[in-house]
């Protein structure tokens, strides 16, 4: 190699000035005559340590893109400017590559929607959650959630089968339109068969209700109710963990979660609660009790003799949508009592004791929140066998059609 680099002739001016030219054609040779190299160009990097194979034949942008493993335009531009890659032609920023989408295709970002419906019932978001991995005590596997876009108020209907969605929505429509003297204008639904069935779509058409359907595999387009699902499930699981109740009480926990969520301030409404936004009054927070805690409903009017105890140890399992009272489960008999005269011990949770076995023997509310004008007890949405009705205490002091509604105590 040394012999190949020596010459008997005097060095040229380039050699004397040490302006050597490097050949990148895989020969690793040096020459003092730049004219002997095809497609040579000067090296202008600031440091000799930064140089790589930068001399030689210029390459087009497409070839560089392929050689670099279809790197992005920003990465290629960085390499070009930092290492002065020999480029034939100019850079085209929006140059399309038919190969990149085959390996890099991804979903487009979703823009955050700032606008809300102008008034209640103008737009409702519907979705069906389930099936639950564990059936409730009364055979429920699903629940239908309905969210009002204007107020973010939520209604929850536990269902045994998907086929009950239409009957439930028909009853819901009658209740809310009568209660608020307004008509449902539009629905946002997904492509589930319970919403896209011919019967459901025909009902919407007959009543002049328009609808929008999410694109396949795009739940983000129904994001309002999808996020509400997450909030309901997260809150309900916290209530179950707090109370140590079995997962078969998920309906009671989720219904209580909706009752509470409707009364919590939300940034979507400038830190106003959905309850206050819809009903134009402040909820009564003093009515709230810890889910799953020990409670003792007053039993004197129903005692068989004067030596009977005045209270029955029970477990608080939520609020009732027909009565302004509390739902109390007797863990021994499995009966559910509804009463306003209840003493609570919110430091004790009976189901934390492993020997207690849940045996609920009463039908729960089939819908939750807003009161009797929105309940769904008049329709049969359960396929489970008929259960004995709950024992209602203090029934003489409760008017289910009083104002304010029972489930919204003030």
Q: Tell me which residue of 291, 248, 257 sits closest to 384, measured CA to CA.
A: 248
Lowest mean pLDDT among 4-13, 43-52, 215-224, 299-308: 4-13
Question: What confidence category does residue 400 fall into, taking pLDDT thresholds of 50, 70 and 90?
Answer: very low
Position 361 pLDDT exceeds 70: no
pLDDT score, position 172: 96
SS3 402: coil
The arithmetic mean of pLDDT across residues 52-61, rounded, is 62
CA atoms of 342 and 345, how far apart (whole Å): 10
Lowest mean pLDDT among 34-43, 96-105, 190-199: 34-43
pLDDT score, position 356: 56
Question: What confidence category does residue 398 fall into, taking pLDDT thresholds of 50, 70 and 90?
Answer: very low
Position 358 pLDDT exceeds 80: no
CA atoms of 177 and 304, how far apart (whole Å): 45
18 sits in the region (left: phi over 0; alpha: psi -120 to 50; else beta) called left
CA atoms of 268 and 114, how far apart (whole Å): 9
Phi, psi dihedrals of residue 272, rounded to the nearest 5°? -105, 150
The arithmetic mean of pLDDT across residues 67-92, rounded, is 80
Higher pLDDT, 112 or 358: 112
CA atoms of 174 and 182, how far apart (whole Å): 10
Lowest mean pLDDT among 46-55, 176-185, 291-300: 46-55
Tell me what percent of the chain is helix, strand and coil, each rounded to the nearest 5: 30, 15, 50
Lowest mean pLDDT among 17-31, 121-135, 322-336: 17-31
Position 352 pLDDT exceeds 90: no
Q: What are the structural domains of the chain?
A: 3-104 (no CATH), 123-397 (3.30.420.10)
Higher pLDDT, 287 or 102: 287
Q: Which of 2-6, 16-20, 233-237 has the highest mean pLDDT?
A: 233-237
pLDDT score, position 141: 96
pLDDT score, position 91: 80
> Following CA atoms 95, 99, 103, 104 in sequence, which dihedral angle do they give, to the nearest 10 degrees?
10
The arithmetic mean of pLDDT across residues 58-63, rounded, is 80
CA atoms of 295 and 151, how far apart (whole Å): 33
pLDDT score, position 219: 80
Higher pLDDT, 40 or 224: 224
Higher pLDDT, 400 or 125: 125
What pLDDT digit, counting tens, does each position of 225-269 carry? 999 999 999 999 999 999 999 999 999 999 999 999 999 999 888
pLDDT score, position 372: 33
Position 43 pLDDT exceeds 60: no
Higher pLDDT, 379 or 166: 166
Calculate Rg over the CA atoms of the chain. 36
**Residue reference for tokens 């909706």:** 258
Do residues 182 and 380 lie in contact, with contact meaning Cβ atoms separated by under 8 Å?
Answer: no
Do residues 159 and 95 lie in contact, with contact meaning Cβ atoms separated by under 8 Å?
Answer: no
Position 333 pLDDT exceeds 50: yes
What pLDDT digit, counting tens, does each position of 92-105 carry? 877 788 778 777 77
| % of the chain surpassing 90 pLDDT | 45
Residue 193 burial (CB < 10 Å; 0-12/13-18/19+)? exposed
Average pLDDT over the chain, rounded to whole? 78
Do residues 367 and 155 lie in contact, with contact meaning Cβ atoms separated by under 8 Å?
Answer: yes
Q: Is the model's pTM score more than 0.85?
A: no
Q: Which of 64-78, 154-168, 292-306 has the highest mean pLDDT?
A: 154-168
Lowest mean pLDDT among 89-93, 204-208, 215-219, 286-290: 89-93
Q: Measuring CA to CA, how many Å separate 151 from each of 114, 120, 345?
A: 14, 7, 34
């Amino acid at each position: 190699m040394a012999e190949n680099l020596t010459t008997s002739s005097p060095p040229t001016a380039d050699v004397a000035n040490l302006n050597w030219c490097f050949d990148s054609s895989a020969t690793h040779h040096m020459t003092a005559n730049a004219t002997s190299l095809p497609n040579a160009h000067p090296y202008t990097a600031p440091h000799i340590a930064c140089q790589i194979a930068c001399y030689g034949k210029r390459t087009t942008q497409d070839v560089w893109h392929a050689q670099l493993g279809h790197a992005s335009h920003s990465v290629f531009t960085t390499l070009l400017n930092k290492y002065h890659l020999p480029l034939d032609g100019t850079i085209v920023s929006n140059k399309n590559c038919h190969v990149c989408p085959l390996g890099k295709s991804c979903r487009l970002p979703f823009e955050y929607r700032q606008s809300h419906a102008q008034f209640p019932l103008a737009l409702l978001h519907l979705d069906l959650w389930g099936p639950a991995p564990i059936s409730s005590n009364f055979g429920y596997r699903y629940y239908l959630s309905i969210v009002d876009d204007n107020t973010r108020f939520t209604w929850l209907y536990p269902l045994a089968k998907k086929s009950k969605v239409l009957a439930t929505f028909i009853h819901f429509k009658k209740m809310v339109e009568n209660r608020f003297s307004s008509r449902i204008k539009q629905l946002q639904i997904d492509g589930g068969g319970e919403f896209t069935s011919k019967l459901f779509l025909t009902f919407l058409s007959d009543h002049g209700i328009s609808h929008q359907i999410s694109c396949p595999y795009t739940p983000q387009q129904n994001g309002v109710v999808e996020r509400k699902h997450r909030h309901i499930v997260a809150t309900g699981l916290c209530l179950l963990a707090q109370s140590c109740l079995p997962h078969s009480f998920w309906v009671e926990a989720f219904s209580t979660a909706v009752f509470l969520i409707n009364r919590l301030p939300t940034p979507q409404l400038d830190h106003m609660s959905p309850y206050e936004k819809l009903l134009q009054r402040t909820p009564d927070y003093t009515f709230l009790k810890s889910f799953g805690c020990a409670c003792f409903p007053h039993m004197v009017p129903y005692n068989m003799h004067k030596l009977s105890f005045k209270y029955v140890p029970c477990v608080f399992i939520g609020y009732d949508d027909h009565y302004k009272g509390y739902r109390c489960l007797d863990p021994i008999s499995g009966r559910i009592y509804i009463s306003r005269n209840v003493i609570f011990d919110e430091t004790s949770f009976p189901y934390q004791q492993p020997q207690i076995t849940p045996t609920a023997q009463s039908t729960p509310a089939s819908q939750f929140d807003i009161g009797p004008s929105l309940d769904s007890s008049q329709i049969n949405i359960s396929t489970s066998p008929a259960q004995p009705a709950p024992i209602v205490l203090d029934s003489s002091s409760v008017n289910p059609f009083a104002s304010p509604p029972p489930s919204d105590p003030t």
